[in-house]
Amino acid sequence: MKKFSVKTIVAIGIGAALFFVLGRFVAIPSPVPNTSISVQYGLLAFLSVVYGPVAGALIGFIGHALIDFSYGWGVWWSWVIASAVFGLLMGFAAKLLKMDEAEMGKKGLIKFNISQVVSHVICWGVVAPVLDILIYSEPLDKLFAQGLVAGVSNAVTTAIVGSLLCVAYAATKTKAGSLTKE
Amino acid sequence: MINLFNYIDRPSPIHRLTGACKLVCLIAWSVAAMTSFYTPLLIFLTVASLVLFRVAKLKVKDISFMLGIMVVYIVMNNVLIFLFSPEHGTSIYGTRTVLFRIAGPYVVTAEQLFYHLNVILKNACTIPIVLLFVCTTNPSEFAASLNRIGVSYRISYAVALALRYIPDIQREYRDISLAQQARGTEMSKKASLVNRLKAASSILIPLILSSLDRIETISNAMELRGFGKGKNRTWYSGRKFSKMDILCMVVCLVLVILSLTLTYLNGGRYFNPFI
Q: Which residues pair with B108 in a beta bridge?
A: B100
Confidence of residue A101 (pLDDT cuts 50, 70, 90): low
Which candidate from A17, A43, A164 shows the least CB-CB separation from B166? A17
How distant is the Cα of A181 from the closest Cα of chain B, in angstroms?
30
Confidence of residue A57 (pLDDT cuts 50, 70, 90): very high
- The pLDDT > 70 percentage for chain A reads 85
B129 and B110 Cβ atoms separated by less than 8 Å? no
- pLDDT tens sequence across B189-222: 666 767 776 777 788 888 888 999 999 999 999 9
Best to test chain A binding among B4, B109, B204 (most A CBs inside 10 Å): B204
A155 vs B: CB within 8 A:
no
Which candidate from B130, B165, B209 shows the least CB-CB separation from A13? B165
- The pLDDT > 90 percentage for chain A reads 12
CB atoms within 10 A of CB B102: 10
Rounded to an integer, what distance in angstroms lies between the CA atom of residue B132 and that of residue B22? 9
* Per-residue H/E/C for chain A: CCCCCHHHHHHHHHHHHHHHHHHHHCCEECCCCCCEECCHHHHHHHHHHHHCHHHHHHHHHHHHHHHHHHHCCCCCHHHHHHHHHHHHHHHHHHHHCCCCCCCCCHHHHHHHHHHHHHHHHHHHHHHHHHHHHHHHCCCHHHHHHHHHHHHHHHHHHHHHHHHHHHHHHHHHCCCCCCCCCC
Judged by CB atoms within 8 Å, which residues 81-110 of A form the interface with B?
Answer: none
What is the reported pLDDT for B2?
Answer: 45
DSSP string, chain B: -TTTT-------HHHHS-HHHHHHHHHHHHHHHHH-B-HHHHHHHHHHHHHHHHHTT--GGGGHHHHHHHHHHHHHHHHHHHHH-TTHHHHHHS---EEEEEETTEEEEHHHHHHHHHHHHHHHHHHHHHHHHHHHS-HHHHHHHHHHTT--HHHHHHHHHHHHHHHHHHHHHHHHHHHHHHTT---STTS-HHHHHHHHHHHHHHHHHHHHHHHHHHHHHHHHTTTT-SS----TT-----HHHHHHHHHHHHHHHHHHHHHHHHTSSB--TT-
Cα within 13 Å of Cα(B200), Cβ side: 27
Closest chain B residue to A166, measured at CA: B205
- pLDDT tens sequence across B40-78: 888 888 888 888 888 888 777 777 777 777 788 888 888
- pLDDT tens sequence across B148-159: 888 888 888 888
Rounded to an integer, what distance in angstroms lies between the CA atom of residue A159 and that of residue A116? 8
Closest chain A residue to B90, measured at CA: A139
B139 and B1 Cβ atoms separated by less than 8 Å? no
If phi over 0 gives left and psi between -120 and 50 gives alpha, with beta otherwise, what is residue B238? beta
- pLDDT tens sequence across B137-192: 887 788 888 888 888 888 888 888 888 888 888 889 889 988 988 988 776 666 67
Q: Is residue A34 pLDDT above 50, yes or no? A: yes
What average pLDDT is seen over chain A? 81
Q: Is residue A1 pLDDT above 60, yes or no? A: no
Rounded to an integer, what distance in angstroms lies between the CA atom of residue B43 and that of residue B58? 21
Confidence of residue B125 (pLDDT cuts 50, 70, 90): confident
A21 and B173 Cβ atoms separated by less than 8 Å? yes
Q: Is residue A2 pLDDT above 60, yes or no? A: no
Confidence of residue A10 (pLDDT cuts 50, 70, 90): very high
Burial class (CB in 10 A: 0-12, 13-18, 19+), A51: buried
Rounded to an integer, what distance in angstroms lies between the CA atom of residue B80 and that of residue A122? 23
Where do the domains of chain A lie, and which CATH numbers do they carry?
6-172 (1.10.1760.20)
A46 and B194 Cβ atoms separated by less than 8 Å? no
Closest chain B residue to A131, measured at CA: B34
- pLDDT tens sequence across A121-162: 888 888 888 888 877 777 777 788 878 887 888 888 888 888
- pLDDT tens sequence across B237-275: 777 888 888 898 899 999 889 888 888 887 777 777 776
- Pick from A79-88, B103-112, B123-132 the range whose average pLDDT is largest: A79-88
Asked if A26 lies within 8 A of B37 by C-beta distance, the reply is no
- pLDDT tens sequence across A37-56: 677 888 898 899 888 899 99
Q: Minimal CA–CA distance to B80: which of B92, B88, B69?
A: B88
Phi, psi of A37 (to 5 degrees): -75, 115
Burial class (CB in 10 A: 0-12, 13-18, 19+), B71: exposed
Burial class (CB in 10 A: 0-12, 13-18, 19+), B241: middle
Q: Report ipTM (2 d.p.).
A: 0.82
B78 vs A: CB within 8 A:
no
- The pLDDT > 70 percentage for chain B reads 95
Q: Minimal CA–CA distance to B153: which of A58, A9, A48?
A: A9
Confidence of residue A16 (pLDDT cuts 50, 70, 90): very high
A177 vs B: CB within 8 A:
no
- The pLDDT > 90 percentage for chain B reads 6
What is the reported pLDDT for A73?
Answer: 61
What is the reported pLDDT for B1?
Answer: 40
Amino acid present at A153: S
What is the reported pLDDT for B8?
Answer: 77
Chain A residues within an 8 Å CB radius of B84: 139, 141-142, 145
Q: What integer is the mean pLDDT of B122-140?
A: 81
What average pLDDT is seen over chain B? 82
Chain B residues within an 8 Å CB radius of A141: 84-85
